[in-house]
Amino acid sequence: MAATIISGKDVSAEIREELKERAARLKEKGHAPGLAVVLVGEDPASVSYVTAKGKAAEEIGIFETTIRMPGDSSEEEILRQVDDLNRDDRYDGFLVQLPLPRYVNAGKVINLISPDKDVDGFHPVNVGKMLRGEPCPLPCTPYGVVQLLVRGGYGPDGKHVVVCGRSNIVGKPLAAMLIQKRKGANATVTVCHTATPDLRRFTLQADILVAAMGVPRAIKADMVPDGCVVIDVGVNRVPDAAAAKGFRLVGDVDFEPIKEKASAITPVPGGVGPMTVTMLMMNTIEAAERKAGLIS
Ligand SMILES: NC(=O)c1ccc[n+]([C@@H]2O[C@H](COP(=O)([O-])OP(=O)(O)OC[C@H]3O[C@@H](n4cnc5c(N)ncnc54)[C@H](OP(=O)(O)O)[C@@H]3O)[C@@H](O)[C@H]2O)c1
């Protein structure tokens, strides 16, 4: 039987409705939630991510400003912008869109962001809090994966989750979230990477398999056990002469054959992708609620 498709668009829409109500409640209390996005240069992928963030904020009722800086901005100018935003009361949260120009030390920029306003959840203080299971903004993509699982009816509690990929923005934080001793987590987690010998040996043991590798269709059908829940984080451009742009997007899993084996699977696009922006909005609303004293 073909797998159920877990729609990130649908789950996203459900969360955005809830966020609209929370934004309205904040405004009633005299606190309009605000988000700033710093964009350095004009990298097309970054421009499209930033545009999506602005649109989502508008839809939810978050006051949003995109601050565009020239592509040759110095590290000092970017740090000064961060410092200004840390002190600007109009914004409950902000982010600096990555990647930054190569000569800029991105770590230094992230470290300067006030942890209270770090809606990407990348600041070391927030990474530490996440690991300890304390309230904090959670990195948006793995947070979106957890929400997809829980709200989609595939809660990770008691399950063996195999995560392929150990990056600081997806694999590692996802593992840290899933091992927490609480409902909606409580998973046994295996994290695989390029030094994992015989990846298939591990993926075949998964109740839930998450692919975050950045390698088109790396996970093949013979690596997936029957009835597994498959979450595809990958977004890869592959050449396609028939497509208007000359490429199309595919994930890290070989979708067509795997959907015949899995019990549920996320598509690419329309799976994890829409969740990332939605969780940024969630972090912004939570930062505003914290500042307004509505949550701790
Ligand atoms: N949907 C979204 O919103 C969203 C957000 C972020 C990322 N993504 C996508 O998710 C994918 C991963 O992103 P990322 O930033 O985490 O990538 P990344 O920084 O390149 O990390 C990839 C990870 O996968 C591991 N890996 C690569 N090839 C492997 C293989 N053959 N076997 C086992 N492990 C392997 C690497 O292992 P090593 O550590 O050993 O090198 C690394 O840990 C990309 O396609 C990216 O575009 C999507």
The residue extents of the domains of the chain are 30-114, 140-273
Q: Is 81 a catalytic residue?
A: no
* pLDDT value of residue 259: 98
Query: Strand, helix or coil at 69?
Result: strand
Beta-carbon count within 10 A of 102 CB: 6
Which residue among the candidates 120, 232, 252, 254 is catalytic per the annotation? 120
* pLDDT value of residue 8: 98
* pLDDT value of residue 204: 98
Per-residue pLDDT of the chain (296 residues; tens, 9 = 90+): 799 999 999 999 999 999 999 999 999 999 999 999 999 999 998 999 999 999 999 999 999 999 999 999 999 999 999 999 999 999 999 999 999 999 999 999 999 999 999 999 999 999 999 999 999 999 999 999 999 999 999 999 999 999 999 999 999 999 999 999 999 999 999 999 999 999 999 999 999 999 999 999 999 999 999 999 999 999 999 999 999 989 999 999 999 999 999 999 999 999 999 999 999 999 999 999 999 999 87
User: Structure pTM?
Assistant: 0.97
Contact 136, 124 (CB under 8 A): no
Domain 30-114 has CATH 3.40.190.150: no
Query: What does the alpha-carbon distance between residue 3 and residue 229 come to, in Å, rounded to a whole number?
Result: 9
* pLDDT value of residue 81: 98
Give φ, ψ of 251 to 5 degrees: -90, -165
- Residues in contact with ligand 1 by the CB-under-6-Å rule are 141, 164-167, 169-171, 192-196, 199, 212-215, 218, 233-236, 272-273, 276
Q: Tell me if the bond preceding 239 is cis, omega within 30° of 0.
A: no
| Closest Cα to atom 23 of ligand 1 | 165
* pLDDT value of residue 296: 78
**What is the sign of the dihedral through the CA atoms of 42, 46, 50 and 51?**
positive
Work out the widest C-alpha separation in the chain, in whole angstroms. 57
* pLDDT value of residue 160: 98
Question: DSSP label at 140?
Answer: H
Give φ, ψ of 160 to 5 degrees: -95, 115
Place domain 140-273 in its CATH homologous superfamily.
NAD(P)-binding Rossmann-like Domain (3.40.50.720)
Q: Is 205 a catalytic residue?
A: no
Beta-carbon count within 10 A of 126 CB: 25
Q: Is 53 a catalytic residue?
A: yes
Q: How far is the CA of 200 from the centre of ligand 1 (A)?
A: 17
The tally of CA atoms less than 13 A away on the side-chain side of residue 285 is 25
Same-fold call for 30-114 versus 140-273: yes
**What is the sign of the dihedral through the CA atoms of 21, 24, 29 and 35?**
positive
* pLDDT value of residue 7: 98
Query: Strand, helix or coil at 124?
Result: helix
* pLDDT value of residue 277: 97
